[in-house]
Amino acid sequence: MFFYFCAMMNRICFLLFFLLLSTGAINAQFQERTINIGNIGVHITNAGTIGRPNVRNDPQGPPSMEYPLNSGVEHLFEAGLWIGCISNGQVTVSTGAVDDASGYAVGKSGFEFSPLPGTNVLTRSSLQGSEFFSTSAVSHQDYIVPFTDEFTIVLAPINRSTTT
């Protein structure tokens, strides 16, 4: 009976932990910005994606990756950051985007980054006449984009070894 109770408590604790993580991811605000300084326009999000997946259906919106800027010529539909490491001999990679015609959605497979709750995209500029002028800026248009992969649920790999 004691073991059954412990197993049930573990399941309840796991469910509560999962719900807390999910709530954080849901409460995070998805934000988009467009880099439009110089001769290129690039769309970015605080979910680690670059480009705009619906640019073909809605070419009148912001550019996906338009070059030259204001030409209507797009060169990217959607891409994402991939960040990896080797930890204890295990390769781990978080992906910002995979090939998917419908684009990003919170919690969608292959889109492992989420907006970081309680943060906003910060805009800075090295141009003194800009409303975003900052001595901390490193270019004419900086976006500091906080996002996280802490809401990604990693399932244990399935051992698919076979014997012949």
Task: Say which residue, 91 or 10, is predicted with more confidence.
Answer: 91
Ranges 88-97, 131-140, 153-162: which has the least confidence: 153-162
pTM, rounded to two decimals: 0.70
Contact, 108 vs 93, CB < 8 A?
no
Using alpha carbons, list the distances in angstroms from residue 51 to 31, 67, 110: 13, 13, 16
Kindly report, residue by residue over 65-81, the tens digit of the pLDDT.
999 999 999 999 888 88
Q: Domain residues of the chain, as ranges?
A: 29-148
Among candidates 82, 98, 106, which has minimal Cα distance to 25? 106
Average pLDDT of span 1-29: 45
